[in-house]
């Protein structure tokens, strides 16, 4: 009896499910939308706002139990502005000075202060060292972005372990929606994407090189990445599309390999990067069959001249696609932009910058490659609410006369950070896997020695 009931339910759901998936694929391939995803995101925002108010009321009631009536009245009069300030404050403690990768110690009166060395100075610098460790502006960029309010995706945050029966029930409903309803649909769409990617690129690979092949590839590429974007319930807002790159080098800040999907839904790019295995490797090999991409092995990555030569040869050919590069060289969380490698800025004198900023309320787009592989990261995104982001195409930037590649890279990085509302850091993202160079340690040591009065 139970098996017959299950078969009957599957039979009833089969055609509606197939119809919905077919509509999604057709809309994705044509680049159109009914606005359902935007409506879905709007409903989620209202739910998050209601949850935020509930959490604040719970915190307020807990504080009222322990505070005096006078303190409570003052808090109500202030409208809880202090809580909002703490939510927006990225700095944990107020430090006497900060350490820069290029400038060393940063303090307004640092080099103007001369003094005799005293043994007690050791305690002061020990204090400053502990402050730097507690509020490390670099290491925090390699972990998930902290949210000021709960988005119903996790129960691991201590303040949100239990707020009310309603919030707990809402969280359970959210888990059911994400894992039982959305995830199966999204997995089916990913399978369709894989089949379409392999089949279409294999067919294009047999075409003769020329304008026709390139035109067919552009159509197939846009269709392919738009299908994959539907598997994330992607809602992407593109700004200033008149600045979109037609050739040359396009650079962007890097949060996740999904950045490629986000940008490739609106334009077609040639990609450059290290060859991978697994699902990401399948994607690289398939794309490489259809058009010119630059994949290099780990051993070749150390040969900068070889990579630069292949890149220069590509951008000099006007018939080839613009190259999409992430100069940070690694994924940085959605809060900042770190040092751009100078390689691509040595090859080209004109760069097309792009800024990408994800909305963390709907899911964490950051890929922590030290903990998760590409497939696991993909599943994490597909079990989130949605992938919502803004993309800004910035005007092309040209290297000025007498400007070296490092200065040019820093200027482009600063512009991307400004447009995306990101923190502009001059530290190397390679610190994610390596230690600080001795030369960087010597700079603040030398600066400290200069303030001492030495005969």
Average pLDDT, rounded, for the chain: 79
Question: What are the residues whose beta carbons fall under 8 Å from the beta carbon of 14, sequence distance 6 or more?
Answer: none
The CA-to-CA distance between both ends of the chain, in Å, stands at 97
Q: Parse the chain into domains and list their residue ranges.
A: 37-86, 158-426
What's the CATH class of domain 158-426? alpha beta
Q: Per residue in 332-343, pLDDT tens?
A: 988 899 989 888
CB 333 within 8 A of CB 366: yes
**Quick one: pLDDT band at residue 82, thresholds 50, 70, 90?**
very low
> Given a cut of 50, is residue 283 above it in pLDDT?
yes
pLDDT value of position 326: 93
pLDDT digit string, tens, across residues 371-416: 888 888 889 999 999 999 999 999 999 999 888 999 999 999 999 9
Give me the DSSP letters along 49-117: HHHHHHHHHHHHHHHHHHS-HHHHHHHHHHTTHHHHHHHH---SS--S-EEETTTEEE-TTSTT--B--
What pTM value is reported for the model?
0.81
Asked if 115 contacts 453 with a C-beta cutoff of 8 angstroms, the reply is yes
The pLDDT of residue 111 is above 60: no
More confident residue, 450 or 287: 287
Beta bridge partners of 389: 236, 358
How many CB atoms are located within 10 Å of the residue 454 CB?
7
For 216-226, the pLDDT digits (tens) are 999 999 999 99
Lowest-confidence segment of 219-228, 259-268, 271-280 by average pLDDT = 271-280
Contact present, 342 and 374 (Cβ < 8 Å): no
């Amino acid at each position: 009896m139970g098996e017959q009931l299950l078969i009957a339910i599957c039979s009833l759901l089969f055609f509606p499910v197939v119809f919905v998936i077919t509509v999604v694929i057709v809309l994705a391939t044509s680049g159109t939308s009914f606005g359902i995803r935007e409506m879905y995101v709007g409903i989620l925002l209202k739910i998050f706002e209601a949850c935020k108010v509930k959490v604040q009321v719970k915190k307020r009631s807990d504080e009222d139990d322990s505070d005096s009536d006078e303190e409570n009245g003052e808090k109500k009069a202030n409208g809880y502005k202090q809580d909002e300030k703490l939510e927006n404050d990225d700095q944990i403690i107020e430090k006497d000075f900060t350490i820069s990768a290029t400038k060393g110690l940063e303090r307004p009166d640092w080099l103007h202060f001369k003094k005799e060395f005293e043994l007690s100075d050791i305690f002061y610098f020990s204090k400053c060292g502990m402050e730097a460790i507690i509020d490390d502006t670099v290491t925090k960029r390699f972990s998930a972005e902290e949210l000021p309010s709960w988005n119903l995706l996790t129960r691991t945050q201590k303040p949100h372990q239990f707020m009310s029966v309603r919030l707990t029930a809402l969280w359970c409903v959210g888990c059911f929606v994400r894992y039982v309803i959305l995830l199966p649909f999204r997995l089916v769409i990913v399978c369709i994407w894989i089949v379409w990617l392999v089949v279409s690129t294999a067919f294009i690979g047999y075409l003769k090189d020329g304008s026709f092949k390139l035109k067919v590839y552009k159509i197939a590429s846009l269709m392919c990445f738009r299908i994959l974007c539907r598997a994330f319930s992607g809602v992407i807002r593109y700004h200033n599309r008149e600045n979109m790159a037609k050739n040359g080098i396009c650079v962007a800040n890097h949060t996740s390999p999904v950045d490629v999907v986000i940008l490739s839904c609106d334009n077609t790019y040639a990609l450059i990067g290290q060859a991978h295995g697994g699902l990401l490797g399948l994607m690289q090999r398939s794309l490489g069959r259809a058009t010119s991409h630059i994949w290099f092995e780990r051993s070749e990555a150390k040969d900068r001249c070889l990579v630069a030569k292949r890149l220069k040869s590509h951008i000099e050919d006007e018939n080839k696609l613009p190259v999409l590069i992430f100069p940070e060289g690694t994924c940085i969380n959605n809060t900042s932009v770190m040092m751009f490698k100078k390689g691509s800025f040595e090859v080209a004198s004109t760069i097309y910058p792009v800024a990408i900023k994800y909305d963390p309320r709907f899911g964490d787009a950051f890929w922590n490659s030290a903990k998760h592989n590409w497939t696991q990261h993909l599943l994490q995104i597909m079990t989130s609410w949605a992938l919502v982001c803004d993309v800004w195409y910035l005007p092309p930037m040209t290297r000025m006369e007498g400007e070296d590649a490092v200065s040019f890279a820093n200027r482009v990085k600063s512009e991307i950070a400004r447009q995306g509302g990101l923190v502009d850091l001059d530290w190397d993202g390679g610190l994610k896997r390596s230690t600080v160079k001795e030369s960087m340690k010597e700079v603040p040591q030398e600066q400290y020695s200069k303030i001492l009065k030495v005969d």
